[in-house]
Structure 1
Amino acid sequence: MKPKIELLAPGGDVQAIKAAIIAGADAVYCGLDTFNARNRAANISFDQLVGIIRLAHQYDCQIFLTLNIVILEQEFKTLFNLLNKLVNTTLDGVIVQDMGLLYVLHHYFPTLDIHASTQLTTHNAGQIPFLKKLGVSRVNLSRELNLREITALAKVGQEHDTLLEVFVHGSLCVAFSGLCYSTSASAGNSGNRGRCSQACREEYETTESGHNFPLNIKDNSAFFDLPALIEAGVYSFKVEGRIKGASYVHTVIDSFRKQIDGYVATGELTQDGERLYKVFNRDFTNAFLRGDLNQSMFIDNPRDNSNNHLVDKLKAEKGESISVVQIHSAQQQLQVDKQQITSSVDEKIAHLSIEKIKLSLSFASELDGPLRLTVVTEQSDSLLPGQAVKTDSQVFTSSSVMIPSEELSVDRQAIEKRFKSINNANYELVELDTQQLTDGLSIPFREITTLKNELLSYLNAGVAMIAHVQPPKLEHHPKADGPLGLSMLICDEADVALADMTDGDIYFKLPDAYKRGCTKYVDFLLQNPRLIPWFPPVLIGKDFEVALNILQQVKPKLIVTNNTGIAYHAEQLGIQWIAGPFLNTTNSYALLALKQGAACSGAFISNEINRQQIKQIARPKDFKLLYSIYHPILLMASRQCFFQQSVGCEKPRIDNGCMLSCDKSTSIKNLKGDSFAIDKQKAGYPSIYNQDQFLNTDIINDLSDKFDGFMIDLTNIGAGDRVSPDKVELITQFQALLDGQSEASAKLSRLVPESTLLQYQNGL
């Protein structure tokens, strides 16, 4: 039996979507001009979406809509209006990042199929059932995973009836998706809102190791790894590229289509992949997939590498004997080839139409006979070049017969009032003929409504129209009585003594990585029962297993987790959990999703949103709201090494020893003169931090009635080689601030001179 393998293509505009369809994509993902994580793509209108769905379905191709950003509270009214329209299309699925949107879809729009975006950073066995409980049917895995890890997660997906997608081609982020805040911190241009400014592609001052683009990595391509991915149990092979044009999309999708079909038919890979180098690329790597994170993944050129690849290929074939003339001639031919690709694609998609279907309605009536509606539709048949017109007709009749009535005559005015609104995104009403209506006749007007509903169902591929859903009114529940607490996050065992300075919660940050079978933290937490375990955002493979063992062995009353896999198992064990700040919670519905769908007892509100955006959030009943007022500002975390391209490293590749033992720090500076700290803690992922600490004392005056407590981060992570403030003095002044001593704010500013609250001011 041949395996079902979905080829999922990007579609940034109408032409690219048409190119993907004609190239043989099984599905295309695209975005509207709102709620979309590729705002630099041209994107499409709602009317175009409806036409695209119709066109794609003619070619047995599905359409998925990207709603893959975090949602702000004030946007839900607009979002509900959009979803009310989407449920009455034949859209095949929506791709989602925001947990609040997951909640809304699951509870109010259950007919829409939900796919989890890569922005949800899914990488371990607990996260798949967590998302399944929230209504997700398929999950796009993190791009950093290797084949062994993907294989293990595919088995988990099968156990929970959840399909898995893997990116097989296109741009790679150096950071974990969903955990990149590189420009959010300075300008509010958050990748979680589709406004990524691509700091990883930016030019920096020449580093110590001689690089100008130290964060820029090659494009991903698993073109020759398809057999292994099929064997692993991956369902959907996803291509990145919604800001790319039609010629790129057609070339890549056609190449993958031929490779997949050839392999399924023959058991062999039949394509050499050279066509992929004739469209935009930064050279290719499959190092994440192979689990070989080495220096060759980086490239000091964020622009198109096609010419460079051509020259390298010629030198390999001809050696040093190649002349400048030969190189120039080959490069000219490459440009000709690119122009021919564009012309060929334009010609192939020229006959594809997404124009509205022309609709004619004719009404007729006679005494003692039913009201009769004849429907005629005309549309261009995109399966046939030359714009062949396809015509269909259907007759609908009322169940009652027409009777004389002078007062309630079914005349032209009555018909137009009810049927002229049929002119919608899918149909253009070109004729409304009422000349065959006999004056002075009527039927119960509810039957005219029934006739209209039958017509709408017919025009919607036989599916009954779904009634409009209004956003529910959310109740703002008060916080529990009691003083405003000061909690602290520590990671150094020596800092346990600081717990005596406050009655608030003391969180202990657990590492990202562990030695296999590590029990050190089990013993430590059992000996210090006041400490509340704080789990990090990324826990992959054995590291997740060890972290899960800590949870199972310690069985604390309460944890904070930034990882939904740990959250899932905490619920299974009956352990109370609080959602950490890296779960990107920005709205009331996300809180409802966490509380009702995952038994969460509280959440840190995202530090990306501002005062007004926070103020609008409604607290669920018996649910804690928390906020971090002092911490290093994480810009990005990566599975790749940041030191190879900055200060250099004698190791050619990252291994488990690097994760556990490396604790280097350095900095890089962009061409604007902004400096960024690169920090690698022992047992932590390489990370980049803003030059300023986040320090927000304003929120205590602004929104102290909103929160149950405020947290300060005393881990010193991200400080690099800077001298950190005295921790005892920090705690003293923050406690004084909560106690109403306003002068403490100025003292804190002196203690932390390099600080900012720009995120709180700008918001998203």
Structure 2
Amino acid sequence: MLELLAPAGDMESLKAAVLNGADAVYLGGKEFSARQSAANFDRVELIEAVRFCHAYNVKVYVTINTLLKNTELKGALDYASFLYSIGVDAVIVQDLGFLHLLRRYLPNFEVHASTQMTAHNLDSVEMLYDLGVKRVVLSRELSLDEIKYISKNTRAELEMFVHGALCISFSGQCLMSSIIGGRSGNRGRCAQPCRLEYSLNNKRAYHLSPKDLSTLEFIDKIKELGVYSLKIEGRMKRPEYVATVVSAYRAAIDGKLEKSHIKDVTQIFNRGGFTSAFMFKRQGSEMMSYKKPRNWGTYLGRVTNVRGDFARVKLDAPLNDGDGVEVFDRGVGVVVANMKKDGKVVKSASQGQEVEFYLKGAKRGDILYKTSDAELIDRAKESFSRKDVERVPIDAYIKVKKNEDIVLRIRDIYGDEVEVKSEPPEVAINKPITLEKLKDSLSKTKDTPYLLTNLTADLDEDVIIPVSRINSIRREGIEKLLDKKQNKREEIKIHFNLEKKIKKDKMNLILITGRQDIVEGVYDYFDEVYFGGDNLRINNGDIESLINKGINVNLWIPEIVLEEEKKIKEEILSLKDNGVKSALCGNLGMYKYLIEKGFDVKLDKGFNIFNSVSTEVLNNAGSLISYELNLKEIKDLVECTNADTMLFIYGRIKMMVSRQCFIGSSKDEGREECGLVCQNKIHYLKDRMNEEFLIVPDRYCRNHIYNSKILCMLEDIREIYKTGAKYLVVHFLDEKVDEARKISRAFREAVDMLNNNEFIQTENIKEVLDMLKGKITKGHYYRGVL
């Protein structure tokens, strides 16, 4: 069965999802959830949520899908143990170390890999399965063909997004909110800078704001993919949204989709229409909501005249009292009341009619959109809040015999059955209990998810039971059935702590770049060199040429590997034959392939190493620690692991990688045949503070956004040394060769001095600091993230 998975930001949204046809819901608790701005569920509410959902045979998945610091691991494990004990069906995770701990301490708890794990190729899905994940939530960037290929060849269950907001970056690889404002998307606090206005090629627009995804009209194609679960995004959305969207997708899956469903889903929330994202082809500008990043609603009509604060409007769609109306993108809006047609107050008006209503600030010619539909909202709310909402049918059997315990059996439509007993009835003196009286009392289930539809009784004619006892037996039976459905388990006490290790290695300097001219110019200053990366259009040369020149160089594989996968695998085999034994890898799937081929692998930023356990999950020769930890947290991480660790100490921090081409799309292009309008050069995205972020395209038309400032810890190298990290990473992106040489020489001097327990600011170090003055950031080394 194809599972329809719905979001629940609070209890009302959860009921909206269940009562409108969801097969499962995903939700977050107050702890460790990637949607910290949602209402979320406390522990008491979580128990209530599980009991309610399980009564309807709906599964509950709880998110612990944030990166976890050392200090948080024990609390997260205890929380997971609580979730396991109350019957939660699965937990959704992002953190690699936490996944490892779950498998160790809660081996029977089903684990799903969040889309934050950036699984987008077959090998990454298979790697996660090998690590103990049952289900993998795929990246939103995949085409239907790519999903189908993974589905046909994996052992894991697959889950894909079918509706809702899109992250323009590959999820799990976005640091934009974190770097700009200190609010980490990897920690559930994304400030959504992608929904802000930027200037690109002198064109100001919402260049990073995509439309929402909708797949309603091609669910039949999705059914053919072999995926297990279809996921609707929206834990931040109101319950009426959840009800509307879930009911539409339920109809689509069941083959009962009507035009009214599409109309309702469009009205409840859209950003200038919908997109199928990358499911069929690159959509370029058609994918983006350039004019407005929020809900557009649906086109209503134009203002034909203005009289004071009242606007006369020619309607292109029906309008009712209570509907929300807005002048497009001007912040002028109103909830319609006392609408007039031909001078008379009316409650509703039809398409083609002219009406007048209060709309202060409107101008003649303004385009109006209906941003909310009162009738739709009322209908959606009724589906989950009316008193006679759909409840689960139950059959009951009751035996009431003299000198025997009263027996009540309750069975729901899913086949679950419970039995309760009570002391024998009394002999009736004048008014014996009747079948009708029993049925009346046993039917009083309106405060539960159940509805009595059939009662069978084995009843002596001369017995009596007080109504209070019948009610008590009913309540006990319902409670016992709910308990059984909840699937409670024993809460496992977890004894976990991290121990400090005593070790101190000398620091080594690593170069990473995709430019052959840089390698040739600075090679002598580094202990190790890794070449390749994102195959950016500004890169030059190739690794084979460097090897042929006698330069000892290793392979650098980025976090995103899609179209180039076959080519990279061929390159790995060729390099192995040429004696290359090491690689720096950011992709989980390519890690799997490299290890199988006998390479020593260092883990790059794509693995989001946030705690000591994460450094030891995979067989590796070093782990690059997340850019989001501060010096104190890094020191704690390094001290509690036996694995080698790496720190990024120079270069532009990559804040985002997107399969969308912002450059081409901004020129109304960016599709498969775009004529390379990016012109093989760096473009700049300018924000409202006039900061310019580099957009660098790669040869597969993905765009990489880098910070406007350069991370440089040369001045603070002594603090870096105190962390105990073994490797320090320098990345050259757009530097001139002579600049790179000066920077490399300065870092070499600094590292060599510190390895000899000394340090002074040499003239070379001072020259570099002066050269970079005003361009430097210290990233999160001093501030960190919450």
> TM-score when scaled to structure 1?
0.78
Which amino acid in the other structure matches residue 450 of structure 2?
L
**Kept in 2: contact 1:128–1:156 (CA 8 A):** no
CA distance in 1: counterparts of 2:740 and 2:252, whole angstroms: 59
**Kept in 1: contact 2:165–2:234 (CA 8 A):** yes
Which amino acid in the other structure matches residue 536 of structure 1?
P
SS at match of 1:694: strand
What RMSD over aligned residues (CA atoms) do the two structures have, in Å? 3.7
CA distance in 2: counterparts of 1:311 and 1:383, whole angstroms: 50
Distance 1:56 1:497, change over 3 A: same
Q: Is 1:534 aligned with 2:556?
A: yes
* Cα offset, 1:343, TM superposition: 3.9
CA distance in 2: counterparts of 1:725 and 1:326, whole angstroms: 70
Which amino acid in the other structure matches residue 245 of structure 1?
R
Q: Is 1:83 aligned with 2:80?
A: yes
**Kept in 2: contact 1:94–1:114 (CA 8 A):** yes
Question: Match for 1:715 among 706, 729, 733?
Answer: 733
**Kept in 2: contact 1:28–1:64 (CA 8 A):** yes
Distance 1:50 1:603, change over 3 A: same
Question: Match for 2:629 among 591, 609, 613?
Answer: 609
Aligned position for 2:124: 127
**Kept in 1: contact 2:513–2:533 (CA 8 A):** no
Question: Match for 1:737 among 731, 745, 750?
Answer: 750
**Kept in 1: contact 2:197–2:204 (CA 8 A):** no
Distance 1:539 1:658, change over 3 A: farther
**Kept in 1: contact 2:594–2:601 (CA 8 A):** yes
Which amino acid in the other structure matches residue 649 of structure 2?
I
Aligned pair count?
Answer: 654
Which amino acid in the other structure matches residue 182 of structure 1?
M
SS at match of 2:570: helix
1:96-123 CA distance string (max 9 Å, x none): 1110111111111112111011111111
CA distance in 2: counterparts of 1:525 and 1:271, whole angstroms: 63
CA distance in 2: counterparts of 1:510 and 1:702, whole angstroms: 28
Aligned position for 2:441: none
* Cα offset, 1:150, TM superposition: 0.8
Which amino acid in the other structure matches residue 385 of structure 2?
E
Aligned position for 2:244: 251
CA distance in 2: counterparts of 1:60 and 1:47, whole angstroms: 20
Which amino acid in the other structure matches residue 592 of structure 1?
E
Question: Match for 1:67 among 64, 77, 89?
Answer: 64
**Kept in 1: contact 2:248–2:261 (CA 8 A):** no
CA distance in 2: counterparts of 1:333 and 1:589, whole angstroms: 48
Aligned position for 1:115: 112
Distance 1:585 1:494, change over 3 A: same
SS at match of 1:308: strand
Q: Is 1:276 aligned with 2:265?
A: yes
1:274-330 CA distance string (max 9 Å, x none): 11012122120113111233211111111111133888998699xxx9868379899
CA distance in 2: counterparts of 1:175 and 1:626, whole angstroms: 25
**Kept in 1: contact 2:518–2:740 (CA 8 A):** no
**Kept in 1: contact 2:9–2:38 (CA 8 A):** yes
Aligned position for 2:276: 286
SS at match of 1:341: helix
CA distance in 2: counterparts of 1:13 and 1:458, whole angstroms: 22
Aligned position for 1:408: none
Q: Is 1:584 aligned with 2:608?
A: yes
Question: Which residues in structure 2 correspond to 1:630-709 (within 5 Å)?
Answer: 630-644=650-664, 648-649=666-667, 651=669, 653-655=671-673, 658=676, 662-682=679-699, 685-697=702-714, 700-705=717-722, 706-709=724-727
Aligned position for 1:223: 216
Distance 1:128 1:513, change over 3 A: farther
Aligned position for 1:383: 450
CA distance in 2: counterparts of 1:328 and 1:217, whole angstroms: 33
Q: Is 1:567 aligned with 2:591?
A: yes
SS at match of 1:66: strand
* Cα offset, 1:493, TM superposition: 1.8
Aligned position for 1:179: 173
CA distance in 2: counterparts of 1:327 and 1:616, whole angstroms: 66
Question: Match for 1:193 among 187, 190, 198?
Answer: 187
**Kept in 2: contact 1:41–1:242 (CA 8 A):** yes
Q: Is 1:213 aligned with 2:202?
A: no
CA distance in 1: counterparts of 2:302 and 2:571, whole angstroms: 54
Q: Is 1:468 aligned with 2:493?
A: yes
CA distance in 1: counterparts of 2:668 and 2:22, whole angstroms: 44
CA distance in 2: counterparts of 1:707 and 1:559, whole angstroms: 19
CA distance in 1: counterparts of 2:385 and 2:6, whole angstroms: 20
CA distance in 2: counterparts of 1:688 and 1:602, whole angstroms: 26
Q: Is 1:336 aligned with 2:354?
A: no
CA distance in 2: counterparts of 1:213 and 1:757, whole angstroms: 28
**Kept in 2: contact 1:512–1:538 (CA 8 A):** no
The structure richer in helix per residue is: 1
Q: Is 1:750 aligned with 2:770?
A: yes
SS at match of 1:128: helix
* Cα offset, 1:680, TM superposition: 2.2
SS at match of 1:758: coil
Larger Rg: 2
User: Which segment is superposed worse, 736-745 or 115-124?
Assistant: 736-745
Aligned position for 1:297: 287
Question: Which residues in structure 2 correspond to 1:389-428 (within 5 Å)?
Answer: 391=474
* Cα offset, 1:470, TM superposition: 1.2
**Kept in 2: contact 1:18–1:349 (CA 8 A):** no
Question: Which residues in structure 2 correspond to 1:553-564 (within 5 Å)?
Answer: 553-555=574-576, 556-564=580-588
CA distance in 1: counterparts of 2:280 and 2:82, whole angstroms: 43
Which amino acid in the other structure matches residue 644 of structure 2?
K
Question: Match for 2:51 among 54, 70, 76?
Answer: 54
**Kept in 2: contact 1:259–1:271 (CA 8 A):** no
Distance 1:731 1:156, change over 3 A: same
> TM-score when scaled to structure 2?
0.76
**Kept in 1: contact 2:284–2:668 (CA 8 A):** no
Aligned position for 1:95: 92
**Kept in 2: contact 1:513–1:684 (CA 8 A):** no
CA distance in 2: counterparts of 1:469 and 1:638, whole angstroms: 40
Instruction: Point out where structure 2 has 5 or more consecutive residues left out of the alignment.
Output: 304-313, 319-349, 359-367, 392-419, 423-443, 454-470, 754-758
**Kept in 2: contact 1:168–1:221 (CA 8 A):** yes
SS at match of 2:708: strand
* Cα offset, 1:654, TM superposition: 3.8
User: Which segment is superposed worse, 305-314 or 192-201?
Assistant: 305-314
Identity of aligned residues (%): 27
Aligned position for 2:149: 152
Question: Match for 2:512 among 476, 489, 514?
Answer: 489
Which amino acid in the other structure matches residue 24 of structure 1?
G
**Kept in 2: contact 1:662–1:681 (CA 8 A):** no
**Kept in 1: contact 2:70–2:637 (CA 8 A):** yes
SS at match of 1:183: helix
